[in-house]
C-alpha cells in the first residue's frame, strides 16, 4: 500500500482509533478488535514503549491494516516505527524534524496543531493531514468550522475529546477524520476482553461518520 492509498483509506474510513494502553497484550487485542469490527486502522501510541513491536506483530498478521505510530516526538523514533511497519506517523504538536523525516521516507504524517498559525506552518512543512489537538478545549466543532472557512484546502483530523456526543458534529463541521481513544476503546472493555462492546462502539462511530458525511454533502 503506497502513500496515496493510505491517505485515501484514512479519508474513506474517517476514524483513526488511538490505542493508548499500558501493555502489549491490550494493544494487540485492541488492534485485533478494530480490524474485526470493520475499522482496519489503528494508531499505537509511543506511551507504550513496545509500540514498534506491536506494530510489527499486527502488521505481519494483517498486511492490509493501516497501522500508525502516535506521540512520535523525534525523527529517530519515527524511523523505528516506520521500519516496524507503521504506515503513518502522528505527533501531538508540529515537530518539523518528524514531518521532514516522514516525507523523506514516503510515509503519511499527521502533524499536530491548534492555532491557525500552527495549522498553516504544519501544512506548508509537508504534513499530509493536520491534527487539531486538543479540539474540545479549543472550542469543539464550531472551531473546526471556523478553521475550514479560510483553510478549506487543508485536511483536518480532529482529536482530543472526541466521543459519541461530538463525533457527528466534527465530521459535519468539515473534519476529514476523527481520532478516537477511550470512547471507542474503553479501558475496562480491553481488560475484560469485551468483544461485543467494542464492536458495538465501532459500529456506532462508523454510522455517525457516514451519516454526518451524507448530511454535509446534502447541504
pLDDT (0 to 100) of residue 81: 98
Please give the C-alpha separations between residue 17 and each of 91, 123, 180, in angstroms, as whole numbers: 14, 22, 5
pLDDT of residue 192: 95
Q: Residue 219: what pLDDT?
A: 82
Each residue's pLDDT expressed in tens, for the chain with a length of 219 residues: 899 999 999 999 999 999 999 999 999 999 999 999 999 999 999 999 999 999 999 999 999 999 999 999 999 999 999 999 999 999 999 999 999 999 999 999 999 999 999 999 999 999 999 999 999 999 999 999 999 999 999 999 999 999 999 999 999 999 999 999 999 999 999 999 999 999 999 999 999 999 999 999 998
Reply yes or no on domain 3-213 having CATH 3.20.20.70: yes
The pLDDT, as a whole number, for residue 60 is 97
Helices (H), the chain: 3-13, 24-36, 51-61, 75-84, 96-105, 116-125, 135-138, 141-148, 167-172, 187-191, 195-218
Sketch the domain layout of the chain as residue ranges.
Answer: 3-213
Amino acid at each position: 500500500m503506497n502513500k496515496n492509498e493510505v491517505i485515501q483509506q484514512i479519508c474513506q474510513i474517517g476514524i483513526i482509533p488511538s490505542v493508548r494502553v499500558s501493555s502489549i497484550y491490550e494493544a494487540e487485542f485492541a488492534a485485533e478488535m478494530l480490524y474485526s469490527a470493520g475499522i482496519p486502522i489503528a494508531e499505537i501510541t509511543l506511551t507504550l514503549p513496545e509500540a514498534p513491536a506491536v506494530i510489527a506483530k499486527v502488521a505481519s498478521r494483517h498486511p492490509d491494516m493501516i497501522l500508525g505510530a502516535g506521540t512520535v516526538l523525534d525523527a529517530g523514533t519515527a524511523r523505528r516505527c516506520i521500519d516496524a511497519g507503521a504506515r503513518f506517523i502522528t505527533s501531538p504538536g508540529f515537530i518539523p524534524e518528524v514531518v521532514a523525516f516522514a516525507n523523506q521516507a514516503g510515509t503519511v504524517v499527521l502533524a499536530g496543531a491548534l492555532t491557525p498559525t500552527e495549522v498553516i506552518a504544519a501544512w506548508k512543512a509537508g504534513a499530509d493531514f493536520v491534527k487539531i489537538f486538543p479540539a474540545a478545549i479549543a472550542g469543539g466543532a464550531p472551531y473546526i468550522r471556523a478553521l475550514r472557512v479560510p483553510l478549506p484546502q487543508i485536511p483536518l483530523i480532529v482529536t482530543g475529546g472526541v466521543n459519541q456526543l461530538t463525533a457527528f458534529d466534527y465530521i459535519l463541521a468539515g473534519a476529514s477524520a476523527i481520532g478516537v481513544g477511550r470512547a471507542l476503546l474503553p479501558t475496562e472493555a480491553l481488560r475484560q476482553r469485551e468483544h461485543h462492546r467494542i464492536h458495538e462502539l465501532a459500529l456506532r462511530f462508523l454510522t455517525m461518520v457516514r451519516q454526518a458525511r451524507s448530511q454535509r454533502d446534502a447541504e
